[in-house]
């Protein structure tokens, strides 16, 4: 078997790893193993590491890296195990822990959410799942770069002109500068408006009367003159509208609870 400096380095690293673990264990004899460690040990007990294709490929690559020249993947994997690579490689350990965590969270058929469960969850989380209040408006944009120090004066003059000439909202954008996302906005929630125009824009927009030109309102990009078309109130969701989100959350919560229960059982063993 060919030897190499990389192999000696790996063996030294493995020895140091074992030494550190022994020192840590002796220094803290009352420490409880982490969930990942419990899951990793369970994977070894069940022989998952012997059957998992990703583990085989990882070990074969590592054995090749340290200079082993065994013929065939199976021989490389066996040699990697003999060298202790399987026990000390963090990628393998984390992968096996993840595989076991997913398995621990598997639900039985009787644990899948029913329609009654979904309706109960919706009732308990109605405010969180409700459609937020939204606003729809048209905006005429004046850019800071183009107008420079004259920006404020240009915006005030624009508001006055749009009002004086009774310019309808569909014609207003022609009096301003092009805006990346267009002039027609919404319906959007306040959070979405702020994400598009910058913090505080939605709050200032609340003071704008519908059906007339209002502003200018300052954004992260410049100034905007707006025409509010409508404000839509928050609405309680129907189960059909949020069915996918409700089922996803129920499954996630139950899988996490099931995983915690099974990990606790493994720890008790």
Question: What pLDDT is attached to residue 15?
Answer: 36
Residue whose C-alpha is closest to residue 176's, from 227, 136, 139: 139
DSSP string, 184-219: EEEEEEHHHHHHHH-TTHHHHHTTSPBTSEEEEEE-
What Rg, from alpha-carbon coordinates, does the chain have? 31
| CATH code, residues 131-232 | 3.10.50.40
Q: Domain segments of the chain: what residues?
A: 5-104, 109-128+236-266, 131-232
Which uninterrupted H or E stretch holds 213?
strand 213-218
Give tens-digit pLDDT for 66-82: 655 556 777 887 877 77
What is the pLDDT confidence band of residue 87, given thresholds at 50, 70 and 90?
confident
137 three-class SS: strand
CB 194 within 8 A of CB 201: yes
Cα separation, 260 vs 258, whole angstroms:
5
Q: Could you report the per-residue pLDDT of 10-35, keeping only the tens digit for each?
A: 343 343 333 334 333 333 444 456 88
10 Å Cβ neighbour count for 247? 15
SS3 state of residue 201: helix
More confident residue, 194 or 56: 194
Closest by Cα among 161, 55, 178, 36 to 102: 36
Amino acid 32: pLDDT: 58
Q: What is the pLDDT of residue 11?
A: 41
Mean pLDDT of the chain: 82
Mean pLDDT, residues 195-205: 92
Residues 129-175 pLDDT 10s: 888 899 999 999 999 888 888 999 999 999 999 999 999 999 999 99
The sheet with strand 184-189 has its strands ordered as 184-189, 134-143, 222-232, 213-218
pLDDT recorded at residue 67: 59
**Does an H or E element contain 119, and which?**
helix 115-124
Lowest mean pLDDT among 51-65, 154-168, 244-258: 51-65
């Amino acid at each position: 078997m060919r030897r190499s400096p990389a192999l000696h380095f790996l063996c030294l690293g493995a020895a140091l790893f074992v030494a550190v673990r022994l020192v840590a264990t002796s220094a803290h004899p009352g420490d409880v193993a982490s969930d990942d460690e419990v899951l990793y040990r369970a994977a070894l007990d069940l022989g998952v590491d012997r059957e998992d294709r990703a583990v085989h490929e990882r070990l074969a690559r590592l054995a090749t890296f340290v200079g082993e020249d065994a013929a065939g993947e199976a021989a490389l994997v066996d040699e990697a195990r003999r060298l202790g690579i399987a026990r000390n490689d963090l990628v393998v350990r984390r992968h096996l822990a993840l595989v076991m965590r997913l398995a621990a969270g598997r639900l039985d058929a009787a644990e899948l959410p029913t329609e009654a469960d979904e309706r109960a969850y919706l009732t308990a989380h109605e405010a969180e799942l409700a459609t937020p209040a939204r606003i729809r408006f048209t905006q005429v944009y004046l850019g800071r770069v183009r107008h420079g120090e004259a920006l404020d004066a240009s915006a005030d003059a624009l508001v006055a002109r749009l009002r004086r000439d009774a310019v309808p909202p569909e014609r207003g954008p022609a009096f301003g500068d092009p805006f990346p996302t267009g002039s027609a906005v919404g319906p959007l929630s306040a959070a979405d408006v702020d994400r598009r125009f910058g913090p505080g824009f939605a709050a200032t927009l609340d003071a704008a009367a519908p059906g007339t030109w209002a502003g200018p309102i300052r954004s992260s990009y410049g100034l905007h003159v707006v025409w509010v078309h409508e404000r839509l109130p928050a609405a309680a969701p129907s189960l059909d509208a949020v069915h996918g989100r409700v089922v996803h959350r129920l499954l996630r919560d139950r899988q996490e609870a099931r995983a915690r229960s099974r990990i606790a059982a493994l720890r008790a063993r």
